[in-house]
Amino acid sequence: MHRRAFLAAGATGSLAALAGCASLFGSSSSVDHPGTLDASFHANKPLPEDDDPGDGYPPEREDPPEERSIDTSRFGTTTTNDEQVALAPIEVTRYWHQRSEARFVDARSLEAYEQAHVYGAVSSPAQRGSEGGGIDGWAEDDRIVCYCGCPHHLSSIRAAGLQKAGYTDVYVIDEGFGPWLNNDFAMRGTNFSAPQEAVVEGEVDSAHAGEYAWATHEASGQQEAAPIGDDGAFALHLKFYDVTDDAPIRVQTPEFDVTEPLGDLTETVLTG
């Protein structure tokens, strides 16, 4: 639904004080945005003022692209926690963004969100098992685009949580936030530099195929996830800010839980 139509409908009142998510599983996930955070955010280029930073919509532009037909049934999909999640090409999500026709959800950590995020997006980090549920005041038929940087593991986890809560028009950016950042698309943040990248590989029993491995820098809350393949292998593609090789990273799998310096983790294949 176009943002202007949504506002005209008066759906569920103001979202400026958006505070949380109601989870299908009885827990809740935090939802933050520039109106709730202390960081000094700025845009990466001249952009319309966002008067309602908690609604997930980018503000309307004076010169949006012309309307065109998009066949979402042709999008690829990925299965995450028993949900089939649609992978939207970045050029389509940018088109929706420029026309203010989708709400945007950043599924990365709050630390990553504060560094740089899609202009207008709210922060709602992925939770294990796709807990997190819906977002207060957002109608279940609203178009929602989730994204992360890996390129779509965390975002698919968050999108699956929305679908489990009854949302019916949910997508993730297939290529992830990296190309959005590299192409200098519309963003807000405190620092638009790229994160450091590292890969942590491991193996568990193939019986765990389809489950997830997680990596966390607990001091900053930054996290990454990766599905375990049919052969039991996984590769965690970390895109963390201000994390050195000496920084302790916790890796959790269905078989083991280990905390080691990042530099050590990248030099071996973790096993149980």
Q: What is the pLDDT of residues 189-222, one digit of tens each?
A: 999 999 999 999 999 999 999 999 999 999 999 9
Contact 193, 112 (CB under 8 A): no
Query: Average pLDDT over the chain, rounded to whole?
Result: 90
pTM surpassing 0.85?
yes
* Average pLDDT, integer, range 26-45: 83
Residue 73 in 3-state DSSP? Answer: helix
pLDDT for position 166: 95
* Average pLDDT, integer, range 141-167: 96
Inform me whether the pLDDT recorded for 241 exceeds 70: yes
pLDDT for position 8: 32
pLDDT for position 29: 54
* Average pLDDT, integer, range 21-29: 39
Confidence of residue 15 (pLDDT cuts 50, 70, 90): very low
Contact 58, 186 (CB under 8 A): yes
Contact 149, 173 (CB under 8 A): no
pLDDT for position 28: 39
Beta strand segments in the chain, E: 21-22, 42-43, 76-80, 83-88, 103-106, 116-118, 122-123, 134-135, 144-147, 170-173, 187-189, 196-203, 212-217, 222-227, 233-240, 248-252, 257-261, 269-270
pLDDT for position 3: 42
Confidence of residue 30 (pLDDT cuts 50, 70, 90): low
Inform me whether the pLDDT recorded for 115 exceeds 60: yes
Of the chain, the percentage scoring pLDDT greater than 70 comes to 89
Of the chain, the percentage scoring pLDDT greater than 90 comes to 86
200 pairs with which residues across the strands? 236
- The CA distance from 203 to 206, in Å, is 8
